[in-house]
Each structure stands twice: as structure tokens, then as C-alpha cells.
Amino acid sequence: MMGSNDFYPEEQPAHRVTVDGFWIDEHPVTNAEFRRFVKATGYVTVAELPPTPADYPEADPSLLLPGSLVFQQTRGPVPLDDYRNWWAYVPGACWFRPEGPGSNLHGRERHPVVHVCYEDAEAFSRWANKELPTEAEWEFAARGGLEGATFAWGDEFAPRGRMMANTWQGEFPWQNLGTDGYERTSPVCKFPPNGYGLFDMVGNVWEWTSDYFTPRHTEPDGACCTPHNPRVTTVQPAPVAGEPGASFPRRVIKGGSHLCAPNYCLRYRPAARQGETIETSTSHIGFRCIRRSGEGEPGE
């Protein structure tokens, strides 16, 4: 079962799909792994390059500096309807300078790489001889074999008081209680794996998938047809025409992040989904890769 009828409209309707077998990374791609890719290829991420003036016709070209969106905790409660209250475009922020100039990855080798946009994730996956998962593949993996459960581990958020993922406890975006031990990203594999042995599917960082975002799941036509390896390969129109970046297609990101909090965003669940413009990089989006069966992975 993919999707859910119990939370946000974009997850509806819950519906049955089937996917072929595949291999998936146990954890999100880490900074150490991404560094190996960059060293081997000289790859430069999108956040390190100046934005293209044609994509931002309203902007003063001299202000189009390379950079990325960095979360800024606020001093007190702020209106939750404007993400600019807690996201800042920081010139110079990129995967190896996660908070901008002066920051670095010391002690964060095992944290998920962040500040990677869709094409960066795709470039890594190609180099690794893998691919990015479709939303259906990602969600199947995240569920860990539990049919229709709310979380990747069952229906209870913190069974017997045990924190199962890196999310946000307290009032977003100003009070971060860190009950789970981490206020920002965490090293991978610090929380229990799901039923398929996969870590950090829920929480820590959002993860790119290859599907274009749709505001709802499409209803399968009739009871006879269970979609097989469904994928959304056509760009959907932007939700807010005229906003910066509205001309960019959106792909689906999955799993929620360390910034998902009960008072703001209940998206730390396998069914949850969000559309993200493909040129966007942030301090809370990463990715993991898959290899589809029959593509050269040794069997058991």
C-alpha cells in the first residue's frame, strides 16, 4: 500500500502498487561517500555555481551568488505560513561548508550529505553505477514490510519511550528540545533500522526520488489494475506561478527530516511526500541510491 488517507491531501489516496525487486542503500549517502565521488570526478555541485540570471529574471544579476538554503533557528515563535522566517539563502553554503563560509565537515563524515539538488544526486548515483529510486520504490523500502503502518517501525511514534528517528521535538522553529539526541543532522545508523535493515528512511534528511511531484496520487483505473513500477515522468505545472523558481519542475522528496515537528509538519512517515524544485538545495535534503535487480548486483 502506497500513500495514506489519514494525514495530508498530497498523500491520498492510499492505493496498491507493485514494484520489482531492487537493492537500496542502507543509509543516506554520507559526506565521506560524497567526498570520494568529488575527489574521483572533480564534480562541482549546483550550489557552488552562480544561479543562471535567465532563471531569475526579477533578480539583480550581481546578487546571484552561489549558495544554498540554511535553516536558521528563530529566537521565539514566528508565523508558520512563511518559510522565509527560518530559511536563509546563505552565499557560499554548499555540501562541504554546510553553514556557509567558515563552516566545515569536521566530525560530520558520517552525516548525510546535504545541499545537493536533484542533478547532484543523479550525478553521484550514475558514478556509483546506481540510480535514484522512484517514489514507489522508496516508499516500499521505507515501510520495511509493515502494511499500512504510520511509521517505518509501526504505529506508535516512540514505542516504550524509545526515539526511532531524528525529527524535531518541541515547538518548531524556535524550541529544539533534542530529545532524540540531535538538533540538526545525525550520523547515519544511530536509530534502529526498519524491517528491511534500512536506516534513517524517516527523519534525518529528506531524500530525493525520481518522480515528478503531483498534488495527489493518481487513482488507479478500476480494481483490476494495480500499477506496476509506477513512475511520474511528466512535469506538473508549478503551484505558484511567478514566485522565484516557479519555472523549475518539482520532484518528490520523501521521509521528512530533523526539522519535522508535530506543531508544523507531520511528514516523518513513509507515506509523506513533498514537491521540491529540482534546483533547490538545502541543509535538510539528501538522498540514497538503488540498484534495480538484473543490473549486476551479486545475488545471495
For the chain, the straight-line distance linking the first and the last C-alpha, in angstroms and rounded, comes to 27
CA distances from residue 20 to 3, 10, 45, 148, 254 in whole angstroms, order as listed: 18, 24, 32, 19, 20
Q: Does 211 bind Ca ion (CB under 5 A)?
A: no
| Nearer CB in complex with Cu ion: 269/292 | 269
Segment contacting Ca ion (CB under 5 A): 53-61, 69-77, 247-255, 265-273?
Answer: 247-255
Residues 242-281 that bind Cu ion (CB under 5 A): 256, 260, 265, 267
| Nearer CB in complex with Cu ion: 152/265 | 265
Q: Are 258 and 167 within 8 A, CB to CB? A: yes
Instruction: Choose, by CB under 5 A, the member of 144, 173, 230, 255 that binds Ca ion.
Output: 255
At 58, the amino acid letter reads E
Residue showing the smallest CB distance to Ca ion in the complex:
255
As measured in angstroms, the least distance from the Cβ of 237 to Cu ion is 23
CA distances from residue 60 to 53, 54, 56, 278 in whole angstroms, order as listed: 8, 11, 9, 22
Query: Whole-angstrom Cα distance, residue 66 to residue 275?
Result: 23
If contact means CB under 5 to 8 A according to the sort of partner, which of Cu ion, Ca ion, none does residue 250 touch?
none
Q: Is 61 helix (H, G, I), strand (E, B) or coil?
A: helix
Q: Are 12 and 272 within 8 A, CB to CB? A: no
Query: Whole-angstrom Cα distance, residue 4 to residue 228?
Result: 19
Q: Are 147 and 14 within 8 A, CB to CB? A: no
| Nearer CB in complex with Cu ion: 116/260 | 260
Q: Does 34 bind Ca ion (CB under 5 A)?
A: no
As measured in angstroms, the least distance from the Cβ of 50 to Ca ion is 29
Largest Cα–Cα distance of the chain, in whole Å?
58
Per rule CB under 5 A, count of chain residues that contact Cu ion: 4
Per rule CB under 5 A, count of chain residues that contact Ca ion: 7
If contact means CB under 5 to 8 A according to the sort of partner, which of Ca ion, Cu ion, none does residue 166 touch?
Ca ion
Q: Does 290 bind Cu ion (CB under 5 A)?
A: no
* Three-point CA angle 9, 257, 1, nearest 5°: 45
As measured in angstroms, the least distance from the Cβ of 110 to Cu ion is 23
Instruction: Choose, by CB under 5 A, the member of 135, 137, 180, 276 that binds Ca ion.
Output: 180
As measured in angstroms, the least distance from the Cβ of 54 to Ca ion is 33
| Nearer CB in complex with Ca ion: 182/208 | 182
Q: Does 182 bind Ca ion (CB under 5 A)?
A: yes
Q: Which three cell numbers stand for residue 266?
A: 507531520
Strand-strand pairing, 290-292 and 22-24: antiparallel
| Nearer CB in complex with Ca ion: 67/270 | 270
| Nearer CB in complex with Ca ion: 158/238 | 158
Q: Say whether the peptide bond before residue 51 is cis (omega within 30 degrees of 0).
A: no
Q: Does 166 bind Ca ion (CB under 5 A)?
A: yes
CA distances from residue 101 to 68, 98, 105, 175, 265 in whole angstroms, order as listed: 12, 8, 12, 25, 30
Segment contacting Ca ion (CB under 5 A): 37-45, 50-58, 250-258, 261-269?
Answer: 250-258
* Binding residues vs Cu ion (CB under 5 A): 256, 260, 265, 267
- Give the binding site for Ca ion (CB under 5 A): 166, 180, 182, 200, 204, 255, 258
